Structure 1
Amino acid sequence: MSIRPTIDIRHAQPTLEGAGVHLHRAFGFQDPSELDPFLLFDDFRNEIPEHYLRGFPWHPHRGIETITYVLAGEVDHGDSLGNTGTLGAGDVQWMTAGSGILHQEMPRGNQSGQMHGFQLWANLPGALKMTTPRYQDVQSGDIPEVIDDDGTKVRVIVGDFWGKRGPVDGIAADPQYLDISVPPGRRKTFKVDTYRRAFAYVFAGAGVFSDASKPSGILLEKEVMGQEVNIRDMSGDRTLIRFGTGDEVTVQAGEEGIRFLLISGAPLQEPVAWHGPIVMNTQEEIRQAKRDLRNGTFIQPAH
C-alpha cells in the first residue's frame, strides 16, 4: 500500500459565470492534463439571491459530461431535447452532452436564501464526443450512504466503495465520486485505484492530508482531539488537494471534523481543443461546432 502524495494545494478562486452568478472555481480553463479526465470544478455557494438568481441561461455543450451535485436550494433545468426538472438538496444530475445540447440551469435558494452546489466537467474520449446526449437525474434518497464504526460517513455518488455502488452509471471517465465526512480528530484512509487521477475538495471543517514522505502529519505543532497535526498544513474550506500516484488517501480531521469530495477518474491522455463549453480533440472540430451553432445544425439527430 502507498499513500498518494499531495502535489498541489490551492484555494478556489472567485469568478462570475452565466448571467452573473458569483461562484468559486477550483480549476478550469488551464492545463487540461493536470486532472485528466476532469476539466473544470466550480463551487456555487451563496446566501445573496441577487448573486445567483440570474443563473445560467441557454448555452451549448459538446464533447463533455457535466456533473451537478446540489447541497442546498434547488436548480431548475431544461434542454433542447425537451427535458425539464428540478434538482433539490442532495440530488445529482449527470449530463452527457455528446454531439451537442442546449440547456439552462436556474438556481433558487432555500427558505434562508442559501444556494450551494458543485459542478464538475469530465472530458469525453474522441470516440464518444459525438455520442447521443443523455441525462441521468438521481434523487438524494437513491444515493447510498455508508457510516463506519467511527462515525465516518460516505455518500457514494458514482463508483464502488465500501460494498456500495453509486446510482450513476455508464460514464466514460469511469469515475469515483464520493462525499466524505470524517468526525473530529479521526484519522481515515480511503482506497483509490492506482491508475486514476485523484483530487479532494474540502468544503467544510479542516484536516491534514498525509504526504507519502511525511505520513505522520509533517512537523508536529498542535494536538487536536488527542492526535497531533500541524495546523499550518491543514486544508480548510474551498481547498483543492491534487494527489500524485498511489493507492490510498489518508486524512486527519481537525477539531471540527472535515467534509470533502474525493473524486478520481481514468485519464484519457488525448489532445484537447477547448472553446468555452465545447471540448473536442482538434481545432477543426471546434470550428465545425461554431459553424453548426451559426447554421442551426448544432443539435444532431438521434443515432
Structure 2
Amino acid sequence: MQRTISKVISARAASDGAGVKIKRSLGQSQVARLDPFLMLDQFFSDDANDYIAGFPEHPHRGFQTVTYMLEGHMLHQDSLGNKGDLRSGDVQWMNAARGIIHSEMPQQEEGRMRGFQLWINLPSHEKMLPASYQDVPSSSMPWQTVRQGVQVKMIAGNLQMADTEFSGAIQGLSTEAIMADVDMQQATQLSVELPEGHNAFVYCYQGELTIEGEVAPLDAVSILSEGSTLTVQANQASRFLLLSGKPINEPIAQYGPFVMNTHAELEQAMRDYRDGTLTE
C-alpha cells in the first residue's frame, strides 16, 4: 500500500542555545511529535550573528540527539571527555541516556552554517543506561546512486530502493530508526520500501516534491500515512530528509532537555542536575 501525506507540520522560526536562529517543525508543541521522533530543528544562515553564540554547555537525559551538518564547522565537547569536530556532511549521534552535559560551538566567524538537529526518544528501559557518543564522518556515509538522477546518503538504518538495499552508518537502534538524505534531479521519481508499522516523514529542504499527487511543502514535516511503499516525484532539483522509526508507545514527560516517562522521573532528573549527579 502506498504511503500518502496525512499531516503537515510547517517549521516555525525560533531560537535555541545562546540565541541561535532555527526553524522548528517537530517539537514546536507537545502534539507536534511523531513517536519516536521528538524534535527536528533546521539551522540555516549566512549571517554569523544568527549562529555565532552557539550552544554552550547544557544537559540532556532520556533520549538521543542527532546533529547533521550540511555546511559549516562546529566543535562538540561533553562530560564523557569526547571532542568532536563536526564539518560539512558529518553527523554526531549522541545517546544522552542517563545523562550527559555537552556544548556545540561554531568554529567559524563568517560564512554559511546549515544543518539539522533531531531528537529521538528512548524506551523506558534504555533511559538510564550509560551515555555514549559517536562521530560519523561524511566519508563513512558516501553519496550512493540509486538510479539515474537520484542519490542517497544513508545515515542510519537500511532502505530498500531500486531492488537494492542501502545501509546507513548507524545500526542496531531499538527504535529501528532510518535516516537518509536524498538528492533528486528534476523530473525523477523514487520508490522506497518502508517497514510497515513504522511512523515516517519527509522533510523537503530544497526544491519541490510530490507524493501521490500532493506537494510536500518546503521546510515542513510531511507525516506519511501507514503503508509499505513511498513514491516521491521531484518537480525540480530537490533535497529531502527521510525518517522512519518504530513507535515506542510509552508516556512522555518532558521538561526542556529532559525526556522521561513520569513527572517524578523529571523531578529526579532536575534534582540530579542541580546536585551535580546527572552524569553519574
Query: How far apart, CA to CA, are the structure 1 residues paired with 2:135 and 2:171?
Result: 11
Query: How far apart, CA to CA, are the structure 2 residues paired with 1:196 and 1:71?
Result: 26
Query: How far apart, CA to CA, are the structure 2 residues paired with 1:91 and 1:275?
Result: 29
1:258 aligned to 230, 238, 249, which one? 238
Structure 2: segments with no counterpart, 5+ residues: none
TM-score (norm 2): 0.94
Q: Answer yes or no: is the 8 Å Cα contact 2:69–2:87 preserved in 1.
A: yes
CA pair 237-154 structure 1, distance change in 2 beyond 3 A: same
1:272 aligned to 245, 248, 252, which one? 252
TM-score (norm 1): 0.87
TM superposition shift of 1:183: 1.3
1:142 is matched with which residue? Answer: 140
1:20 is matched with which residue? Answer: 19
2:202 is matched with which residue? Answer: 200
CA RMSD of aligned residues (A): 1.5
CA pair 164-149 structure 1, distance change in 2 beyond 3 A: closer
TM superposition shift of 1:125: 0.4
Structure 1 residue matching 2:98: 3-state secondary structure: coil
Structure 1: segments with no counterpart, 5+ residues: 211-216, 218-232
Moved >4 Å (runs of 4+) = none
Q: Answer yes or no: is the 8 Å Cα contact 1:156–1:177 preserved in 2.
A: yes
Query: How far apart, CA to CA, are the structure 1 residues paired with 2:147 and 2:15?
Result: 42
TM superposition shift of 1:187: 2.2
Letter in 1 for 2:176: D
Structure 2 residue matching 1:294: 3-state secondary structure: helix
TM superposition shift of 1:74: 1.0
Larger radius of gyration: 1
TM superposition shift of 1:8: 1.1
1:230 is matched with which residue? Answer: none
Q: Answer yes or no: is the 8 Å Cα contact 2:67–2:91 preserved in 1.
A: yes
2:227 aligned to 246, 253, 262, which one? 246
The answer on 1:167 being equivalent to 2:169 is yes
Query: How far apart, CA to CA, are the structure 2 residues paired with 1:41 and 1:10?
Result: 11
CA pair 196-33 structure 1, distance change in 2 beyond 3 A: farther
Mapping for residues 52-201 of structure 1, pairs under 5 Å = 52-109=51-108, 113-161=111-159, 162-201=164-203
Identity of aligned residues (%): 39
The count of residues paired between Structure 1 and Structure 2 equals: 276
1:49 is matched with which residue? Answer: 48
